C-alpha cells in the first residue's frame, strides 16, 4: 500500500478532516496514549504539551492507501501502522487510527504525537519519506500486490497521485484531483516549448502565469492558481522549457485577461455543460446516497446486536465463577483458574468472531458501492470531455480573432394586417359552419331492450 506522511500542526483542522462527513463511512478505530477519547480532545492535548517546547509541527499524519480493488483487514492495517511507527522511531508515542471509506475504497489514517512528554522535546523525523517508501515496498511484497512503477524506480511515479492540498483545490474548482493532474500531465507531455505548452493549456481553459511563491502556475477561468511544480513534478525541466518566470504575466494579470476572454456566451456554454452533467449525475448520486444510508443502518444494527450479545456472554461467563464457600473450594482445588482461562479463551474467540462479522460486512458493502462508482466515473470523464471541447472551441475563436456567438433564432415573419384579418375571418367561418351542422340524436331503446321490470 502507498504510505504518505508529513509533519504538521493545526490540531483542529486535522480532526475536522478526519471526521469529515464527506466520507461515506468514518470509523475511529483506536485512540491510545491520550487522556481524551475524542480526536479533537486528543490533538488539543498534544498542542498544549507542545507549548512547553519550540515545536510548531507537533503531529505526524500518515495515510495508508491499499491498491484499488484489494480487501485489507483491520489487522493488516494495524500491522502496517506498527511497522511504519517502528521505522520512524515513534514507538510508544500516543496515536490515533481512523478508517475512511469513500468512492468504494477504504483507506486508513494514523496520527502520532511527536512530543516526548518525559524529555519535553520533539522527536526528530529524518528521511521520513524514504523510510515510508521502504515500508511500502515491503508491504507490497508481503501481500503479493503488483508494485507501482514509482516504487520500483524513482521518477516513474503515477502522475495522477495527488496530495490533500491538491484534492481540496480541485474540489473548489468542481473537478476531480486525479483528472486535473492528468490534464496538466498531458499538456506537458505533448508540448516541447512554452508556446506549445500555453496552447495546450488554453485548450483546457488554463493560462500560464508567474506565481507569487512558486515559479510557474496555471490559472483557471475560475481564478485558481495551480502550481506546475506540484502537479507536473518536473521541477528541473520547467525553467529549461518555459524560460524565466519573470517573462510571464502575474496571477492577477492572467485572471484579468481570462475575465475579458470569458464572454457571456462562453460562460453560457460552460454553464450548460455543467448543468447537463449535473442532471445526469443526480440519479447516480441519489442511488449512491440511498445505498450508503442503508449500509450505515446495517452497520449500526450489527453493532447493536454484537453489543447485546457481548453483554449476555459476559454474564454467562461470570456465572461460572462460584462465590462463597464453593468459590473458596474452587480456588483451593484449582478449578477456578481453569474456568478463568476458559473464559479468557471464549472472550478472545468472541472478539475475533465479532471482528470477522464486521470485516465481512465491510467487504460486501465495499463491493456494492464500488459497482455504483463505475457509472459515476464514466460521467465524470464525459463531463471533462465536454468542458474540454468547449475550451478548445473558445481557443479556436481567440486564435482567429473572433468572438463566439450564439445561433440567433429567426425572427417571426412579418405579415400584412389584411392577411392576418383574412386568416382570422376564415377560422371564424369554419367554426360557425361546424356549429350549424345537424347533430345526430342517440337512438332510444325500446322497452323490450330495457330488461324485466323497466317497462314503466
Specify the pTM: 0.65
Q: What is the pLDDT of residue 21?
A: 84
Q: What is the pLDDT of residue 412?
A: 55
Whether the Cβ atoms of residue 422 and residue 281 lie closer than 8 Å to each other: no
Q: What is the DSSP string of 106-155?
A: EEEEEEEE-EETTTTEEPP-TTHHHHHHHHHHHHHHHHTPPPPHHHHSTT
Q: What is the mean pLDDT of the chain?
A: 79
Sign of CA dihedral 262, 268, 273, 279: positive
Q: What is the pLDDT of residue 154?
A: 52
Q: How confident is the model at residue 388 (pLDDT cuts 50, 70, 90)?
A: confident
Pick the residue with more confidence: 284 or 257? Answer: 284
414: left (phi over 0), alpha (psi -120 to 50) or beta: beta
Pick the residue with more confidence: 430 or 409? Answer: 430
Pick the residue with more confidence: 34 or 150? Answer: 34
User: Residues 211, 215, 217, CA angle at the centre, nearest 5°?
Assistant: 50
Q: pLDDT for 242-270, tens place per residue?
A: 777 777 888 787 777 766 666 666 667 77
Whether the Cβ atoms of residue 282 and residue 288 lie closer than 8 Å to each other: no
- Tell me which residue of 335, 344, 337 sits closest to 317, measured CA to CA: 344
Pick the residue with more confidence: 419 or 265? Answer: 419
Q: What is the pLDDT of residue 300?
A: 92
Whether the Cβ atoms of residue 266 and residue 389 lie closer than 8 Å to each other: no
Q: pLDDT for 303-327, tens place per residue?
A: 999 999 999 999 999 988 888 888 8
Q: How many CB atoms lie within 10 A of CB 249?
A: 15
Pick the residue with more confidence: 412 or 180? Answer: 180
Task: Write down the number of H helices and E strands in the chain.
Answer: 15, 10
Q: Above 60 in pLDDT, residue 48?
A: yes
Q: What is the DSSP letter of 448?
A: G
Q: How confident is the model at residue 400 (pLDDT cuts 50, 70, 90)?
A: low
CA distance 160 to 419: 67
Q: What is the pLDDT of residue 60?
A: 92
Q: What is the pLDDT of residue 428?
A: 77
Q: pLDDT for 188-229, tens place per residue?
A: 777 778 788 877 777 777 888 887 766 788 777 666 777 777
Q: How confident is the model at residue 368 (pLDDT cuts 50, 70, 90)?
A: confident
CA distance 384 to 393: 14
Q: pLDDT for 98-133, tens place per residue?
A: 999 888 888 999 999 999 888 889 999 888 888 998
- Tell me which residue of 313, 318, 320, 315 sits closest to 347, measured CA to CA: 313
Amino acid at each position: 500500500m502507498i504510505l504518505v506522511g508529513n509533519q504538521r500542526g493545526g490540531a483542529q483542522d486535522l480532526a475536522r478532516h478526519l471526521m469529515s462527513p464527506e466520507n461515506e463511512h468514518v470509523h475511529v478505530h483506536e485512540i491510545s496514549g491520550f487522556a481524551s477519547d475524542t480526536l479533537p480532545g486528543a490533538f488539543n492535548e498534544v498542542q498544549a504539551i507542545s507549548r512547553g517546547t519550540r515545536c510548531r509541527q507537533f503531529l505526524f499524519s500518515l495515510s495508508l492507501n491499499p491498491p484499488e480493488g484489494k480487501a485489507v483487514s483491520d489487522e493488516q492495517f494495524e500491522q502496517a501502522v506498527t511497522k511504519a511507527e517502528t521505522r520512524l522511531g515513534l514507538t510508544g508515542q500516543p496515536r490515533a487510527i481512523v478508517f475512511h471509506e469513500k468512492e468504494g475504497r477504504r483507506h486508513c489514517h494514523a496520527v502520532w504525537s511527536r512530543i516526548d512528554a518525559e524529555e519535553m522535546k520533539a522527536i526528530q523525523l529524518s528521511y521520513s519519506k524514504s523510510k515510508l517508501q521502504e515500508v511500502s515496498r515491503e508491504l507490497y511484497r508481503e501481500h503479493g500486490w503488483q508494485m507501482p512503477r514509482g516504487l520500483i524506480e524513482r521518477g516513474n511515479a503515477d502522475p495522477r497521485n495527488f496530495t490533500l492540498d491538491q484534492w481540496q483545490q480541485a474540489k473548489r474548482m468542481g473537478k476531480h484531483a486525479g483528472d486535473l493532474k492528468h490534464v496538466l500531465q498531458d499538456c506537458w507531455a505533448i508540448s516541447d516549448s512554452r508556446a506549445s505548452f500555453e496552447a495546450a493549456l488554453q485548450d483546457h481553459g488554463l493560462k500560464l502565469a508567474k506565481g507569487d511563491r512558486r515559479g510557474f502556475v496555471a490559472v483557471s477561468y475560475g481564478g485558481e492558481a495551480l502550481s506546475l511544480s506540484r502537479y507536473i513534478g518536473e521541477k528541473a525541466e520547467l525553467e529549461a522549457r518555459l524560460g524565466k518566470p519573470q517573462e510571464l504575466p502575474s496571477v492577477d494579470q492572467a485572471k484579468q485577461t481570462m475575465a475579458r476572454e470569458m464572454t457571456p456566451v462562453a460562460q453560457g456554454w460552460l454553464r450548460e455543460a455543467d448543468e447537463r452533467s449535473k442532471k445526469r449525475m443526480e440519479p447516480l448520486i441519489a442511488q449512491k446516497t440511498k445505498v450508503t444510508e442503508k449500509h450505515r443502518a446495517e452497520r449500526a444494527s450489527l453493532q447493536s446486536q454484537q453489543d447485546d450479545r457481548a453483554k449476555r456472554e459476559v454474564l454467562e461467563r461470570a456465572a461460572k465463577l462460584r462465590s462463597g464457600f464453593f468459590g473458596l473450594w474452587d480456588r483451593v482445588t484449582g478449578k477456578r483458574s481453569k474456568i478463568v482461562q476458559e473464559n479468557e479463551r471464549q472472550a478472545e474467540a468472541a472478539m475475533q468472531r465479532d471482528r470477522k462479522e464486521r470485516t465481512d460486512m465491510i467487504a460486501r458493502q465495499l463491493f456494492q458501492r464500488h459497482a455504483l462508482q463505475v457509472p459515476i466515473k464514466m460521467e465524470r470523464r464525459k463531463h471533462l470531455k465536454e468542458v474540454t471541447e468547449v475550451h478548445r472551441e473558445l481557443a479556436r475563436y481567440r486564435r482567429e480573432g473572433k468572438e463566439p456567438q450564439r445561433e440567433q433564432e429567426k425572427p417571426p415573419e412579418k405579415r400584412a394586417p389584411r392577411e392576418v384579418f383574412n386568416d382570422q375571418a376564415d377560422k371564424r367561418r369554419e367554426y360557425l359552419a361546424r356549429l350549424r351542422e345537424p347533430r345526430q340524436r342517440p337512438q332510444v331503446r325500446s322497452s323490450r331492450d330495457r330488461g324485466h321490470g323497466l317497462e314503466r
